Every structure is written in structure tokens, then in C-alpha cells.
Amino acid sequence: MGVAILKSRAQLGTVAPPVTIEVFLSGGLPGFSIVGMPATAVRESKDRVRSAILSTGFKFPLEKITVSLGPADMPKTGGRFDLAIALGILAATRQLPVDGFDNVEFFAELALNGELRRVPGVLPAALRAQEAGHTMIVASDNGYEAALVSDRVFAAQSLPEVTAHLAGRHKLAPVTSPPPGEAATFRDLADVRGQAHAKRALEVAAAGAHNLLLVGPPGTGKSMLAARLPGILPRMTESEAIETAAIESVLGRPLNLGRW
């Protein structure tokens, strides 16, 4: 009988509420159940976690395994809890120290061979983890994204790298955010000849943060004008840029990290 408690966060839009992962091993017939409103992708983590543990040289317990994702009334989606569940099983079976999880949050999907895969929505989670003063361990492909807003990020490529870090055998190096790249360039509204009323509408919308609707038959210049609107918008503040990037992160789109 053993128990382990770890931390992660769910994905609800651009909000990243905390999730507590509790892993409990008990006697009886072998089994593996996950409770706490898990979606299909979360329930399927049982097979990914089992294969990852066995393929990386660890022992998978032949006991009744119960994983609770709390709070129980909040939906859980995606494969972001795979790493935390696997580490919880290793800690509950004493294959990993149980005292290395304090103030650490885990985010990664597991491949069957134990490699860590990126998950969407890491940026909003990193914002909340930074506010809470927690360290993050993520997949290598999510490292720079999380490091944009947090200075306590570690990235790994596989489950053994994470276990070696937590056990103190081989510490991971903190991820640093990439250096800022060149500023983005946009098409110039001055290139548009004529269209005085339409250009004036763009300027008013950009200056006053108004919505804009372009209507007209094909060939009247709607796309040409729309492509030049970003060039006259005011520069985003840091908070606005982070909010926009958080939406891209939740959608699973790669961020253009070089322009931060």
C-alpha cells in the first residue's frame, strides 16, 4: 500500500485551475482506475503510462491503482496529466523519492517509449505556476513557451530524465527564454492608392479600438486593406501580448518565440 500526491493544472480556456493528482495503491486484484471527471484522452492515459513505465526499465505494480484528479467536479481533458500519473505510481511503489514533489507542477504527455510530448495550454499554466511560486517540469518542446513567463522551468525529453532530476542523480538545467528577435514587419497603408474613405475607417478603428467589418464585391480591396491594418495598430503592451499568446497556446499553435 502506498500513496503519492502531485500537482498539475487543467485547461479551461485560458484559465489554468490547479489539479491535485493522488495515486493510491492497495491490495486486491490488479486494476487501474482514474476518477475525477476524466475525458477519454485522460482515461486512455492508463495504457500510455503503463507502457512508458515498463519500456523505461521501471516496474509496474500488480496492485489496484486508483488515481484521483481533484477537484472531482471539474472536467479534465488531454494528455497533460500523463507525466504526473506515472511519477505518482513510481513514488507510491518507492521507486522514486516521495519528497521531491513539493511546489512542483508537471505537464507532459507520455509516448509509449517514455518520451515526453508537448501539450497545448502550457503558457496559461506557466502564468499561474509563476504566481504560485511553483516550479514546472514540461516536455522539451514546451520549455521555451513556459519560460516566457516563468523563471522556474525545467524541460526534459523522457521519463528517465525527470526521475533522475527528482532523485538528485542528474539535475536538469533551468530553461531560459529565447533572446528577442527582430520586430515584425507589416504592409504599409501608404501603398494603397485612393480608397480614402476606407483608409479613414481603418484609422478610426485602429485608434479607437473599434470593431471593423469590410463589405463589398470581389476586387474592391478588402483583403488589401485588412492586410495593412496591423501596421497602424498601436504596439501591444506586455500583458496584451501575453494574453494573445495564451490563446495561441491553448489552440495548440506554435508561438513565434523569437519575436518576444
Extract the C-alpha cell encoding 92: 507510491
Average pLDDT over the chain, rounded to an integer: 91
- Band of residue 253 on the pLDDT scale cut at 50, 70, 90: confident
- Of all residues in the chain, what percent carry a pLDDT higher than 70? 95
Distance CA 133, CA 122 (A): 16
Output the pLDDT for position 245.
84
Query: Mean of the pLDDT values across residues 71-81?
Result: 96
Distance CA 84, CA 110 (A): 10
Digit-coded pLDDT (tens) for 111-163? 999 999 999 999 999 999 999 999 999 999 999 999 999 999 999 999 999 99
Distance CA 239, CA 6 (A): 30
φ/ψ (deg, to 5) at 66: -120, 125
The residue among 181, 193, 182, 191 whose CA lies nearest residue 227 is 191
- Band of residue 77 on the pLDDT scale cut at 50, 70, 90: very high
- Of all residues in the chain, what percent carry a pLDDT higher than 90? 75
φ/ψ (deg, to 5) at 181: -95, -165
Output the pLDDT for position 217.
94
Digit-coded pLDDT (tens) for 234-245? 888 888 888 888
Digit-coded pLDDT (tens) for 157-207? 999 999 999 999 999 999 987 666 556 688 899 889 989 999 999 999 999
Burial of 137 (0-12, 13-18, 19+ CB in 10 A): buried
Q: How many residues does the chain have?
A: 260
Query: Mean of the pLDDT values across residues 15-38?
Result: 94
Extract the C-alpha cell encoding 205: 478603428
Query: Mean of the pLDDT values across residues 30-34?
Result: 95
Output the pLDDT for position 256.
62
249 vs 38, more confident: 38
Output the pLDDT for position 238.
80
Integer-rounded Cα Rg, in Å, for the chain is: 23
Instruction: Spell out the SS3 assignment of 123-190.
Output: HHHHHHHHHHCCEEEEEHHHHHHHHCCCCCEEEECEHHHHHHHHHCCCCCCECCCCCCCCCCCCCCHH
Output the pLDDT for position 179.
63
Extract the C-alpha cell encoding 116: 515526453
Extract the C-alpha cell encoding 6: 502531485
